[in-house]
Structure 1
Amino acid sequence: MKWHHVQENWPAFYEAIQDKWPEVDEAELDEIDGEQRAFVAYLAEVTGQEPSEVRDELREWLAGEIPSDVVMDPIHDNHSIKLSSKYVNEGEDEYDDDARFGDDNEEPDDRD
């Protein structure tokens, strides 16, 4: 992903940022508002790393996938679905509508 994806959807990335850097504070993220230089400076401060080390970590983090709940477009969604296929049981189709998160071959439970 590119920084502009992060900047344009800044609040949507809070969870992913806090997963990667648990030291960050959400109020501080609000203040940073997607500004990359401010974010690097803040991470250097809270992690005790040099800014160059933080930039390297950030570059590595940006090399990952955009979280599926951040970008809503069919092309990205289908790409995310395809990547998730490794978590789908053998014989299941990752594109099936599993609204109840059950096995496609089982009858629905009528106790609801």
Structure 2
Amino acid sequence: MKWHHVQDNWSSFFDAIVDRWPEADEAELEDIDGDQRAFVNYIAQLTDQEPTDAAQEIREWLRGELPSDVVMDPRHDDHSISLSGKFLPDGEDEYDDDSRFGDEGNE
């Protein structure tokens, strides 16, 4: 992904950022507001490394998946659903009917 995806959808990336850098603080991320230089400096400080090393780490992170709420495309959604299987307990299927969780049938 490109930085403009991150910058344009900054708050949608909070979960992905915290997943990659668990020490990250959401309030501080809000203050950064998608500013790439500020984010690099924040990650450098957070991980106790030089900004150039933090920038490299961020570039590697950018090679990952876009959060599903950033890209509204059925192909992307299907791919995201299939990837979500790794978070389900054994015996559950990521494509199972989820009506017990939502308001399906309550129209």
| CA displacement, residues 42-71 of structure 1 (integer Å, 9 cap, x when unaligned) | 111121111111111111111011122332
Return the offset for 1:5: 1.0
Return the offset for 1:22: 1.4
Structure-2 change in CA distance of 1:82 and 1:25 (3 Å):
closer
Structure-2 change in CA distance of 1:84 and 1:25 (3 Å):
closer
Greater Rg over alpha carbons, structure: 1
| Distance in 1 of aligned mates of 2:12 and 2:31 | 15
Per the alignment, residue 108 of structure 1 pairs with none
- Structure 1 unmatched ranges of 5 or more: 102-112
User: What percent identity do the matched residue pairs reach?
Assistant: 63
Q: Which amino acid aligns with 2:65?
A: E
Return the offset for 1:87: 8.4
In the TM superposition, 1:28-43 aligns within 5 A as: 28-43=28-43
Normalised by the length of structure 2, the TM-score is: 0.72
Structure-2 change in CA distance of 1:31 and 1:97 (3 Å):
same
Per the alignment, residue 2 of structure 2 pairs with 2
- Give the superposed CA RMSD: 2.6
Normalised by the length of structure 1, the TM-score is: 0.70
In the TM superposition, 1:14-25 aligns within 5 A as: 14-25=14-25
